[in-house]
Amino acid sequence: MNDPESLTNQFLIAMPGLNDANFHHTVTYLCQHGKEGAMGIVINRPSGLRLNDILEQLEISDTPLPDAEQLIYVGGPVQTDRGFVLHTGGTEWDSTLQITPTISITTSRDILAAIARGEGPEKSLIALGYAGWGEGQLEQEMSANAWLNGPAPEQVLFDLPPEARWEAAAKALGVDLNLLSGEAGHA
């Protein structure tokens, strides 16, 4: 099950020259990666919405809850009407995929209500939409120097403010993004 070629549980860090509006200066946490493609959540693009807004739209609660002021992120350009919750902890929710022993992703409504009540996972990031790549697409983009990949420290994923995550993810690799050129080159 642990494919050494897999980029699951890694960050994709957009190179400074990546000008695609969906991914310019983004950090994407890869939830799944294999021969059939990849799926991830952009973790540094706040949408302007808060959890209370989503709870009201889903008719989970029409009363603003104090623990529901959490930011909602733009997770990527695919299925932008669908919610994804990256979180610490296990699989006690209705629809959860465990990514690592400490990080999971859940798509069911029960986790949103629990977070709002202060009964959810210790740490979470809520996004609308995801980033997806078909078979071989991500590998092709990586060979064209669109992305850096590297470890995904939980501190960067959950604790840092969104505007600090792009540079912090690169620093975890020992890379200063200000020193990189947008031009590709191969030796």
Task: Note if the pTM is more than 0.75.
Answer: yes
Question: 145, 180 in Cβ contact below 8 A?
Answer: no
pLDDT, averaged across the chain: 90
Q: Which DSSP state fits 179? A: G
pLDDT tens per residue, range 117-140: 888 899 999 999 999 999 999 999
pLDDT at 59: 80
CATH T-level fold of 10-179? VC0467-like (3.40.1740)
Q: Which two tokens stand for residue 121?
A: 């996972």
Q: Which two tokens stand for residue 137?
A: 């697409």
DSSP output for 61-80: -SS--GGG--EEEE--SEEE
Closest C-alpha among 181, 185, 186 to residue 16: 181
pLDDT at 170: 96
Bigger pLDDT: 41 vs 114: 41
Answer whether residue 3 shows pLDDT above 70. Answer: no
Give the residue extent of every domain in the chain.
Answer: 10-179
Mean pLDDT of 58-67: 67
pLDDT tens per residue, range 8-27: 999 999 999 999 999 999 99
Answer whether residue 39 shows pLDDT above 70. Answer: yes
pLDDT tens per residue, range 148-175: 999 999 999 999 999 999 999 999 999 9
